[in-house]
Structure 1
């Protein structure tokens, strides 16, 4: 599905109704197909320009995928089309409401920090709703002590991976998931020295996910290994993309290379911006 989504995004990214087109395309996705492809949505394609239209549409794609996943878990959801100071996904269960945010990252990016996850912002966007959920690739979360886990516990923002969602989609038995959204509150009872620890947080998440799905930790570990293999596969595609770029650059003439460098640095646009700034007339 990844290839089809990438092609669709390139086709509609500049259109005003790009989000609607993408949402319609995914409207009838089955629970099985969603589970099989959900891990891929957490990894941004390297071929998308940084901060470009395609990257922004991919972010909305991940929100749509999260919304569908929650819907299959008996949480009615809606995706907010316009980004702003609010959560991207809103869900209603039988006895609670929840807001959600799906994160995607490039494998070529350096180490992520707490600003990339925006836990405090998601807590603020929760407003009067009961719970908050942040989903990201398991391989992109910090693997040692981190303030990310401390914040998640303090604010009771549940951190999940796409792998955990995949697992729940395959084994969900109708159990109430409220215990999962209470993870932070339970861990807050531990000594504060434990709050930043990677293992403490994810052991609790794993235990709770297994409990609500009726499965064991060994089965969940199989799913984690699937994420590792899928990440390697997508990563190798990214490596091939950049190696091909190097080959293309090596074929450029000196003049072509200079023009490309000027364009990549947006030098001409910067000159025009400065010119507009210095040509302002002040009325006295």
Structure 2
């Protein structure tokens, strides 16, 4: 006889050995037992397959919840992005900016901006043009106005070539052109000018070389550039030149 009564046993009852004889064992009081021979009148044990299906179903539910959370997070993030983009676009359209609209200027506006192209506003003179500092009233922005000297041979062709080149140029180390003006002055003479962003730190040559005393005496101490600063300037110039060579080569290839 094998007496296993009231031991709070649980699990599957074997069907071999002494457990084949229902009169030789006693399992009364163990309500968590299952299986065994039919005479023991125990409930059938859950099969391994059904347990596997339960686990699979639970996993599916977890994956479904996780997927739903991820989808909702992405949806909310995308909605916030659209809202911010819409707000920034609305602000940009409501604020006048020369970066988002085509800037048109006349000879009269440039004349006023540079105080009649006065020598006090002259910041540079080249082979074909003179550069003046000015303030455009319509956008309240400081600009550099490059006025072509059309009496100089080749100045008009230089203006045309510069416009064509600048139209395709986009580089961080090259000065941005804002607009051009091709008109006539108040005496009926042809007038051509290019308007650039104004760089407030002066001439690069004066930064690289000593300019002596006098009007620049106060700036002298700030123009003692360190070696690493000069190296960075050289690297930036080389980068811009490389970019220009590539752009010009492409334009020549297209012409050919």
TM-score (norm. length: structure 1): 0.24
Q: Which has the higher helix share?
A: 1
Which one has more relative contact order, counting CA pairs under 8 Å at least 6 apart?
A: 1
Select the structure of larger CA radius of gyration: 2
Q: Which has the higher strand share?
A: 2
